[in-house]
Amino acid sequence: MFFVISGIILSCKSNPSEQVLLEGLQESVEIVRDQWGINHIYAANEHDLFFAQGYAAAKDRLFQFEIWRRQATGTVAEILGERELKRDIGTRLFKYRGDLTREFNHYHDRGQEIITAYTDGVNAYIEEALENPDSLPIEFKMLNILPQKWTPEVVISRHQGLLGNIGAELEVGMAVDKIGVDAVKDLYWFHPKDPILEMDPAINTSLLSEEILELYFAYRRSVRFLPEDIDPAYRRSGATAFFEEEKVDVYDSLSIGSNNWVLSESMTTDGHTLMANDPHRTIAVPSLRYMTHLVAPGW
C-alpha cells in the first residue's frame, strides 16, 4: 500500500496508491507497506515522521489502541462495568504525577515534541474514522463504543508496570516479620548474592498482607471480555458456549504452553519452518509489538 499525507501517500500491492490529506503535517509523507505488512515511513522532518507513525499505527491497531487508552486512563469500567472498578482505581493510584516534560525528555532529548507529534497522528486517524463510523473495526460495533482521542500522557502511562517479582518481595517481607531474617535465608534460595533482608524501621511489618497488592494486580491483568459484554446482534450460541464451558484458564500464566515452539513447513502458509526460541512473551493477536521502518533527516 502506498499513501501521501499533507499529504500522506500510502501504497501496497493490493492498493497501488492512495492519497490522504491531513491537517498537522508540515510536508508530504510517504508510507510504503511491504509484503509483510510492515510500514516504511519516509518524511522530510522529524515531526512529520512521528505524526505519520501515529497515524499508521492507529489505522492498523485502532481497537487495541482504544483498550490501551482505557487501561492507561482508568476508564475500563465505563465499558465493562463494576467488575473493572478495582482495575481503574489501581490505574489511577499508580498514575504518574511528576514533571511530564522531564519524563517525556527522559526517553529522548526531544521526547515531548516526538510523543506529541505521535499522538497528534493517532488522533488524526481517529477523527478520520469517526467521520465514517461504519468503517470502524468490528470490535467497536460488538461493544457499542467509539474510539476516543489520545493524549501524550497515555504513551508514558504505567498500566503495564515491569515489576514481575513484586509478589515475591511482599512474600519475603511477610516471612521476615513472622520468622525472622535468619530463618528466611535458611528456607529461601537467594542467588547469586546474600541480600539484606532487614526491614526499614518506617515499615509496620504487622500490616503486611496480600491485600496490599490487590489494586496493583487488578490494573496489571489483561482485559477480559465476556459474552455478556457483546451486543446480542453479534453473539453466537456456539461462541458463547465455548466461553461458558472453557476448561483451561487461558489467562493463567501456567496455561500458556511451552516457552519454546516450532512449526513444521507443513503447518505454515509459505512452506517455511518457524521457530520461536524463548520468546518471553505470551503470543497474542494482535501482537504487542508493532514494527515500523522510520526514515527522515537524523533518523
Average pLDDT over residues 208-217: 92
* Model pTM score: 0.82
What's CA 4's distance to the chain center, in Å? 28
Between CA 205 and CA 254 the distance in angstroms is 31
**pLDDT, tens digit, 9 for 90 and up, residues 225-267:** 999 999 999 887 665 555 555 555 655 666 556 677 789 999 9
**pLDDT, tens digit, 9 for 90 and up, residues 151-183:** 999 998 876 666 778 888 999 999 999 999 999
Selection from 153, 149, 152, 122 nearest residue 51 by Cα: 122
Q: Categorize the per-residue pLDDT at 284 as very low, low, confident or very high, splitting at 50, 70 and 90.
A: confident
Q: Categorize the per-residue pLDDT at 276 as very low, low, confident or very high, splitting at 50, 70 and 90.
A: confident
Between CA 18 and CA 38 the distance in angstroms is 17
CB 116 within 8 A of CB 150: no
**Is the model's pLDDT at 86 over the cut of 90?**
yes
Higher per-residue confidence, 88 vs 205: 88
**Is the model's pLDDT at 49 over the cut of 90?**
yes
CB 175 within 8 A of CB 235: no
Alpha-carbon dihedral angle through residues 244, 217, 290, 252, given to the nearest 10 degrees: -40
Nine cell digits for residue 88: 481503574
- Say what the pLDDT of residue 8 is: 63
Nine cell digits for residue 242: 465455548
Average pLDDT over residues 6-28: 74
